[in-house]
A and B are shown apart, each in its own frame.
Chain A
Amino acid sequence: MRSVSFVTLFFLFVFPQICLSLIEREVDMYKNIRCLVCQGQSLNDSNSDFAKDLKQVIKKKILEKKTNKEIYEYLTDRYGDWILFNPPLKKSTILLWAIPGIFFLLGAILLIKKTQLTTLNRDN
């Protein structure tokens, strides 16, 4: 009897919460993966057959306790980095972050040169 009530409680309270975070994790992943046969849509937003199939494959891997990293690696090994919407941090993508950084520094330097950094002038 006690085990039955424990199981009931589990299904009423704990299981939905586990399911919820699992679903959240899934949805987050689907938003980051490109539907390859669509134009610019993510798996989450796509209704296409390919997207449905790929989601099934990923669901299975989640149940097999694979981590996000492992699943993303599985996908990029087969489809390239292009399938992920968030670009990986690699040697080839460093410029993606470096260029804005360089521009920011350049801008700051130029700005400082252009302004009077001596004492603030009091107006009247």
Chain B
Amino acid sequence: MKKNFKIIFLVLAAILFFVTFYYALKINNKNNPKVMLNKVLPTIELVSLEDKTTKIFLPMENKDKYFLLNIWSSWCVPCRDEHQILSKLKDKIKIYGINYKDDPSNAVSFLNELGNPFYFIGTDRNGSISIEIGAYGIPETYLVNSQGIIIFKHVGPINNRVYSEINKIIK
């Protein structure tokens, strides 16, 4: 009798163990995207790539319902991949770009080659601006609302799935 209880308990424990670790496998360890969600975007000062005298502050500069913030650079291969999708988004939403640790002339060539989807591009020569907003690997994209709250964040190049998610939100 007692043995049966022990066995049932064991089977339940085994199932619990399996399900727990199975779930652990499914959720990726890259938990960073969630940390900044629903927080206000820290104030950053962006100096224009094209003209050093022009500066803006985000998120206060924004008056629209939503805007995108995208960290990229000319030497980043996945950034090329997502550029097409950024271009598609260009007419639906304002995209602010942060050119990360890049040579300005290379950045300009990159845009000349692939097109410029950005409403404004700021430079982050030493990486401190990206750190200020909690980024660590480019490309990274933030979807921010008019209150300055980050409602969506994606690490890595924007793929079609992310594109449709962004579309859904900004409708």
Contact = CB atoms under 8 A, between A and B. Distances in A.
Interface in A28-55: 36-37, 49-50, 53-54
A78 interface: yes
Interface in B137-154: 137
A7 B162 CA distance: 60
Q: DSSP class of A's interface residues: helix, strand, loop or mixed?
A: helix
B137 A37 contact: yes
A57 interface: yes
Given A36-B136, A80-B35, A49 B101 contact: yes
Interface string A74-100: 000111101000000000000000000
A42 to B, nearest CB: 15
Interface centre among A49, A53, A57 (most CB of B within 10 A): A53
A53 B31 CA distance: 21
Given A79-B32, A80-B31, A80-B35, A50 B136 contact: yes
A53 B101 CA distance: 10
A47 B16 CA distance: 41
Nearest to A82: B31
B36 interface: yes
Interface string B74-96: 00000000000000000000000
A64 to B, nearest CB: 13
Interface in B107-141: 126-128, 131-134, 136-137
Contacts of A54: 131
Contacts of A82: 31-32
Given A36-B136, A37-B137, A79-B134, A53 B32 contact: no
Contacts of B128: 53, 56-57, 60
Contacts of A49: 101, 127
Contacts of A56: 126-128
B136 A79 contact: yes
Nearest to B127: A53
A80 B30 CA distance: 11
Interface of B: 31-32, 34-36, 39, 42, 101, 126-128, 131-134, 136-137
11 contacts: A49-B101, A49-B127, A50-B137, A57-B132, A60-B128, A78-B35, A78-B133, A78-B134, A79-B32, A80-B32, A80-B34
Given A36-B136, A56-B126, A79-B32, 19 more contacts: A36-B32, A36-B137, A37-B137, A49-B101, A49-B127, A50-B136, A53-B101, A53-B126, A53-B127, A53-B131, A54-B131, A56-B127, A57-B128, A57-B131, A78-B131, A78-B133, A79-B134, A80-B31, A82-B31
